[in-house]
């Protein structure tokens, strides 16, 4: 099993801790029966690992399908014969609930009951069972660690096996060729893996995982570096056009949509658009520069109910405080999405950027750097100097978590390499896993900043995908 790329989301801890470790030699099984709880255990033989995977999958499915159906499905997936039942309800085996794997589901609209992705579970099981390098160990994190986990040469492909979650359907699995992509609709974490160690590296997906959609060219901010040429006279995309796009994204199993503009919150149907994306099983995110919408209860409710996240593109440190206030109060709504801030490099003096960075650090506000895009209004303007200052900031603060868009990654590729940033955490090719749709002009291209655009056929929206010519440009 090879992990090709990771986009980090949130991490969770648990009382029981069951992990897969790699690199084992001459390790013997150390476990009797099929109850896997807090006690230390070691599972190295194919039979012992198959029994554990069958039991874990059974426990993952039992709450949704009931004991008997879960047993039959787990048996079919893992080719494992469970012990004879001692009563009518249980099959005499269990995995501690906080170490039960979260079964990924098929891509569906939330209106349909979630259906576990049985093909993924089968491939996962066979990969773990048939690879002699893999050993499953268990224990708990309240007392002492499992003896094998104290060695420095073990590697954890999962850290620990993904835990169960009360909301079935948040983890979605999609396959492209030999590669699987797991996307968590709640946290945004995305992992691309392959169970064939001999498969060549994946360089693109068969359909996009993310689509950037411009829903309006209208904006009242008058930003002089706007690469979209947005203005207060700009037009909105027709709602029917947007709904057609979102329906197509659903059919092609696109995980998420980045809604932009212009100022997307100025679209008169913005709340409806967020709901339409959600109803199609596509997680909506958006970028905003004007936070007046935070006082519109209808939009606030839609953002908290349907969105995965949103970012404020900032021009001064006050915008950082607005993001912080949103995160602190969450408008009084439980489960509200978290705000981050985007810093467009070259669009304001470094002194102001530095003030924003300091403020974000003090207020624990996530930041994302946007590389300079010399198109639109910015094509004829000289950017404020930032390259040297950005390198100095990375030298001092590079170990702190931050986000970056593709333009930033390409510009600072050498520096990121020197910083030994894991390539699995970085994607530097536009048009390979994502694309851009201008719903106002009804055109499509690799990205939103100067890419070649063409009219699209909604019956085959991604007929030219992937945009291979755009890689590393």
Could you give the percent of the chain with pLDDT greater than 90?
34
pLDDT score, position 202: 86
pLDDT score, position 404: 84
User: Is the pLDDT score of 336 beyond 90?
Assistant: no
Confidence of residue 26 (pLDDT cuts 50, 70, 90): low
For the domain bounded by 210-470, which CATH number is listed?
A: 3.20.20.70
d(C-alpha 211, C-alpha 447), whole Å: 9
> What residues contact residue 468 under an 8 Å CB cut-off, 6+ apart?
204, 431, 432
Could you give the percent of the chain with pLDDT greater than 70?
82
d(C-alpha 249, C-alpha 283), whole Å: 11
Give the residue-averaged pLDDT of 357-385: 87
At 131-173, the pLDDT tens digits run 888 888 887 666 666 666 554 544 444 444 444 444 556 889 9
At 372-422, the pLDDT tens digits run 888 877 788 889 999 999 999 999 887 788 888 888 888 888 888 888 776
d(C-alpha 296, C-alpha 267), whole Å: 13
Angle at which helices 118-130 and 46-65 cross, to 10°: 160
Which residue has tokens 């979260």? 102
Give the residue-averaged pLDDT of 311-338: 78
pTM: 0.84
Mean pLDDT taken over the chain: 82
- Domain map (residue ranges) of the chain: 2-194, 210-470
Q: Between residues 2 and 49, which one has the greater pLDDT?
A: 49
* Three-class secondary structure assignment of the chain: CEEEEEECCCCCCCCEEEEEEECCCCCCCECCCCEECCCCEEECCHHHHHHHHHHHHHHHHHHHHCHHHHHHHHHHHHCCCCCCCCCCCCCCCEECHHHCCCCCECCCCCCCCCCECHHHHHHHHHHHHHCCCEEEEEEECCCCCCHHHHCCCCECCCCCCCCCCCCCCCEEEEEECCEEEEEECCCCCEEEEECCCCCCCCCCCCCCCEEEEECECECCCCCCCCCCCCECCCCECCHHHHHHHHHHHHHCCCCEEEEECCCHHHCCCHHHHHHHHHHCCCEEEEEECCHHHHHCHHHHHHHHHHCCEEEEECCCHHHHHHHHHHHHHHHHCCCCCCEEEEEECCCCCHHHHHHHHHHHHHCCCCEEEECCCCCHHHHHCCCCCCHHHHHHHHHHHCCCCCEECHHHHHHCHHHHHHCCCCHHHCCCCCCCCEEEEECCCCEEECCCCCCCCEECCHHHCCCCCCCHHHCCC
pLDDT score, position 155: 44
**Are 295 and 274 a contacting pair, CB within 8 Å?**
no
d(C-alpha 182, C-alpha 190), whole Å: 6
């Amino acid at each position: 099993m090879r992990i090709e790329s990771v986009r980090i989301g949130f991490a969770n801890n648990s009382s029981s801790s069951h992990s897969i470790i790699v690199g084992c030699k001459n390790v013997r099984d150390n476990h009797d029966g099929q109850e896997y709880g807090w006690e230390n255990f070691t599972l190295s033989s194919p039979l012992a690992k198959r029994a554990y995977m069958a039991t874990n999958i059974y426990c993952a499915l039992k709450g949704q399908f009931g004991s008997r159906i879960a047993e039959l499905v787990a048996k079919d997936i893992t080719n494992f014969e469970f012990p004879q039942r001692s009563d009518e309800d249980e099959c005499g085996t269990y995995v501690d609930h906080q170490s039960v794997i979260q079964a990924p589901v098929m891509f569906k609209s939330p209106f349909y009951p979630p259906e576990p992705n049985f093909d993924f579970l089968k491939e996962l099981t066979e990969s773990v069972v048939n690879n002699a390098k893999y050993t499953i160990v268990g224990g708990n994190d309240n007392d002492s660690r499992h003896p094998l986990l104290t060695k420095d040469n073990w590697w954890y492909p999962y850290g620990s096996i993904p835990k169960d979650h009360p909301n079935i359907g948040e983890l979605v699995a999609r396959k492209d060729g030999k590669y699987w992509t797991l996307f968590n609709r709640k946290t945004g974490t995305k992992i691309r893996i392959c169970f064939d160690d001999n498969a060549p590296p994946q360089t693109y997906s068969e359909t996009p995982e993310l689509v950037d959609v411009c829903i309006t060219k209208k904006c009242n901010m008058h930003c002089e570096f706007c690469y979209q040429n947005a203005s207060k006279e700009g037009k909105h995309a027709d709602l029917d056009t947007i709904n057609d796009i979102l329906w197509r994204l659903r059919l092609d199993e696109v995980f998420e949509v980045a809604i932009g503009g212009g100022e997307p919150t100025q679209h008169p149907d913005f709340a409806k658009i967020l709901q339409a994306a959600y109803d199609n099983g596509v997680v909506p995110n958006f970028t905003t520069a004007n936070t007046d919408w935070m006082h519109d209860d209808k939009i606030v409710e839609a953002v908290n109910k349907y969105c995965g996240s949103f970012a404020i593109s900032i021009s001064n440190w006050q915008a950082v405080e607005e993001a912080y206030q949103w995160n602190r109060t969450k408008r009084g709504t439980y489960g509200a999405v978290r705000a981050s801030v985007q810093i467009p490099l070259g669009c304001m003096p470094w002194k102001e950027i530095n003030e924003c960075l300091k403020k974000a650090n003090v207020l624990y506000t996530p930041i994302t750097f946007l590389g300079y895009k010399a198109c639109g209004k910015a094509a004829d303007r000289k950017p404020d100097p930032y390259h040297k200052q950005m390198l100095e900031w990375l030298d001092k603060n590079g170990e702190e978590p931050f986000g970056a868009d593709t333009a930033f990654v390409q510009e600072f590729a050498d520096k990121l390499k020197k910083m030994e940033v894991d390539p699995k955490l970085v994607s530097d090719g536009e048009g390979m896993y994502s694309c851009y749709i201008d719903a106002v002009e009804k055109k499509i291209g690799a990205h939103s900043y100067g890419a070649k655009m063409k009219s699209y056929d909604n019956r085959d929206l991604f007929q030219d995908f992937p945009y291979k010519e755009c890689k590393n440009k």
